[in-house]
Amino acid sequence: MSREKASGGLEKASAPAKGAIVAKQVVKTYDTGKVKVEALRGVDLSVKEGDMIAIMGPSGCGKTTLLNCLSGLDDLSGGEIYINGKPLSGMNDRERTRYRAEKIGFIFQAYNLLPVLTSAENVELPLLLAGKNPKEARKLALEALRSVGLEEWSAHKPSELSGGQQQRVTIARSFVNRPEIVFGDEPTGNLDSESSKDIMGLLKKLNKENKQTFIIVTHDYTVGRMADKIVMMKDGLIEKEFVPAPY
């Protein structure tokens, strides 16, 4: 894994690679009718395959917005995002959705799971979306739950789990179909520091073993420093990028 500075790597990264993301002059403006909010004002970012990036910055600086744009959940107002060399703007909603189903995993801070489904059912959804045999999907889901230490909770619904447990189910879901890129918006947001550490350790392990790319938004430096690179944002722009001191 490269720990070199990534600031000059734009041209190189535009070559197709698994799990590589390049953002060029990304602008995102919210027009609420009364006021226009410039949430992103020209962000350049390049993430290489297998990187684990942490995005940090003060509240309202545009972290979530950037994440949504990078993952194709939201449309851009300007600029371009290339995933594995392919521009996102060239894909329609259908293609982007399929792309998310196949290549991308999500961990959100809250409201992650479908409350009416059990842990196992939640985890197997991406596999079912990919058209996997239901039996096999269940098997893989249980395996994923085991790897986050929740095999005993597979038949429970989210409301019966603690916040940390729910978060681990989400993580199991985010990697069960081996996505190339996992996006996390404050994946440890409402966990105590001990649990956050466990979870980050888990993510780190997946990142190492499966060469999955991780892009994680966090407020917590102890979480951020576990990434390969920290991207600091301010007022809709990237302020600086740096490699955190090894822990």
Partner 1 sequence: MNGLQQLAVLVAIVLVVVGILAARRRVFARMAIRSILRRKKYSVIVVCGLLIATAMISGSLVAGDTLDYIIAREVMTNTDEVDIVVSALNETGDEAYFNYTFVSQVAASIGAGTSPHMDKVSGALRGYLAVKNLRTGLTFSQGGIFGFEVGATVNPLLDSDGVPAKIEDVSGGVAVINSRLADEVDAQAGDTLAGITDNGFPVMITVSWVAKDTGLANWDGSAYAFVDLSYAQSIIGQPGMINRIDVSCAGSKSSGYKVTDQAIAELQQQLPADPDFQYDAIKADGLEEAKAVSDMMSQLLVLMSSFAIIAGAALIVNIFVMLAEERKTEMGISRAIGMQRGDLTQTFMYEGVVYALAAAGVGAFAGLGIAMVVMSGTATIISDGGLQFTLNWDWASLGIAACAGFLITMLTVVVASWRVSKLNIVRAIRDIPEPVSVRTARRYLALGIAGIVFGVVASIIGAAQDEAWGVSAGPSLMALGVALLLARFVSFRVPLSVASAFVVFYVLDPFNVAGLIFGPSEGGMEMFLVSGLLLVSGCVILVMVNSDFLLNGLMASFGRKRSLLPVFKVATSYPMNKKFRTGLSIFMFALIMFTVIVMAMIASFQRESVEKTTQQLSGGYEILGFSMLEIPASNLTVGLELVNESVGAGAIMSYDIAAEGPATLIAPGQDEFDYPMIGFSDRMISEAKYTLMRRAPQYSSDIDAWNALLEDHSLVIMDGSVIPSQFGPTTFSGVSLDVGDVVTIRTPLGTEANVTIVGIMDQYFISGVFCSHEFLHAINPLAKDTLLYFETSHLPGVADSDVSKRMEQVFVEYGLTTMVVRDTVEEVMTMVASVMQLMEIFLGMGLIVGIAGLGIITIRNVAERRQEIGVMRAIGYQRDMILKAFLLETSFTSLLGIIVGTLMGLGISYTIFEWGGFAKMSEFVIPWGEILIVFAIAFVITLAATLPPSRKAARLAPAEALRRVD
Ligand X SMILES: Nc1ncnc2c1ncn2[C@@H]1O[C@H](COP(=O)(O)OP(=O)(O)OP(=O)(O)O)[C@@H](O)[C@H]1O
Contacts with partner 1, residue ranges (CB under 8 A): 68, 71, 73-75, 93-94, 97-98, 100-102, 104-106, 108, 111-117, 121, 125-126, 128-134, 157, 159-160, 173
Q: How far apart are CA 233 and CA 112, in angstroms?
A: 25
Token pair in block for residue 97: 């959705």
| Amino acid of residue 149 | G
Closest residue by Cα to residue 177 from 112, 243, 131? 131
> CB 3 → Mg ion: shortest distance, Å?
27
39 contacts ligand X (rule: CB under 6 A): yes
Whichever of 68 and 188 has its CB closer to partner 1, that residue is: 68
Interaction partner, residue 32 (ligand X, Mg ion, partner 1, none; CB < 5-8 Å by kind): ligand X
Helix axes of 163-175 and 119-129: crossing angle, nearest 10 degrees: 20
Stretch that binds ligand X, among 3-11, 56-64, 75-83, 122-130 (CB under 6 A): 56-64
Contact yes or no for 138/124 (Cβ under 8 A): yes
> CB 81 → partner 1: shortest distance, Å?
14
Q: How far apart are CA 170 and CA 52, in angstroms?
A: 18
Whichever of 69 and 226 has its CB closer to partner 1, that residue is: 69
> CB 225 → ligand X: shortest distance, Å?
18
Residues 6+ apart with CB under 8 A from 238: 43, 44, 45, 231, 232
Whichever of 126 and 224 has its CB closer to ligand X, that residue is: 224
Stretch that binds ligand X, among 30-38, 139-147, 160-168, 201-209 (CB under 6 A): 30-38
Q: How far apart are CA 33 and CA 151, in angstroms?
A: 48
100 contacts ligand X (rule: CB under 6 A): no
Q: What is the dihedral of CA 157, 162, 167, 170, to 10 degrees?
A: -10
Whichever of 158 and 224 has its CB closer to partner 1, that residue is: 158
Positions in the binding site for ligand X (CB under 6 A): 30, 32, 37, 39, 59-65
